[in-house]
Structure 1
């Protein structure tokens, strides 16, 4: 099982603002930031629930884009809210909310490209 995952970003401030808005409907928020002074040069923002960040963005490495991460949603309404918030925050559509029966009959997901072109998904596996 994974503990956390992270992406390098081109514009830290823009990406941090995007994720703060896009992940809010899923109950995921900014948990902590690590400053360049603390790391010796790079800034990082950790998103999660409570005190535990499990998704990080940061400077330092060259962003590659094309990465994919899926965040669990409690219900289909939350998937819809994620999509709306992510698009409003500057994300680009990469798959409107809907069923993806190729995976299983109840797979309901939405896909948005973040400012660096990473494929960000919210998914609910529960029946309607």
Structure 2
């Protein structure tokens, strides 16, 4: 189980529009936590796990790191195939780029997912597993 993860972006407003758009079909939400960042997760009542998204350079990054230099991959659990499809459409409408349309994935049993690149090139996925993926 993941407690939290984070990515650095170049344009907070663009990133916020993108993550606000994909939050709804996944049953998630965004919340501001500073002028330079926001959180992406379930809710204020269930704050963990979360994804921190901000424009400041974390102190633990190695010298020379910057947004989009090392592509991140984050997969979010979707409740069903319709949510994966809605995630994909919302992401494209909010400035994301296709990186694999909704569908089953070769080599994965009972798996349905979609991949998009966020405005900084991070690979963001929504997926459903098991019976709901059939």
Calculate the TM-score normalised by the size of structure 1.
0.88
Q: 2:85 aligns with which of 71, 80, 83?
A: 80
C-alpha distance in 2, partners of 1:21/1:116? Answer: 16
Kept in 2, the 8 Å contact 1:79–1:109? The answer is yes
Within the candidate set 52, 66, 74, 2:71 is matched to: 66
SS at structure 2 position matched to 1:74:
coil
Shift, 1:9, TM fit: 0.2
Q: Tell me, which stretches of 5 or more residues in structure 1 are unaligned?
A: 36-42
- Cα RMSD of the aligned pairs, angstroms, is 1.3
Residue of structure 2 aligned with 1:97, choices 81, 95, 102? 102
The secondary structure found in structure 2 opposite 1:85 is: helix
Distance 1:117 1:65, change over 3 A: farther
Counterpart Cα distance in 1 of 2:77 and 2:112:
10
| Deviates further, 60-69 or 16-25 | 60-69
Per-residue CA shift, 1:5-31, capped at 9, x if unaligned? 110000011111111012211011113
Q: Following TM superposition, by how much is the alpha carbon of 1:65 offset from its aligned partner in structure 2, in angstroms?
A: 4.8
TM-score (norm 2): 0.84
Q: Distance in 2 between matches of 1:96 and 1:66?
A: 19
Alignment of structure 1 residues 1-128 onto 2, 5 Å: 1-35=1-35, 43-51=36-44, 52=47, 54-61=50-57, 62-63=66-67, 64-102=69-107, 104-127=108-131, 128=134
SS in 2 for 1:94: strand
Deviation at 1:101, TM superposition (A): 3.4
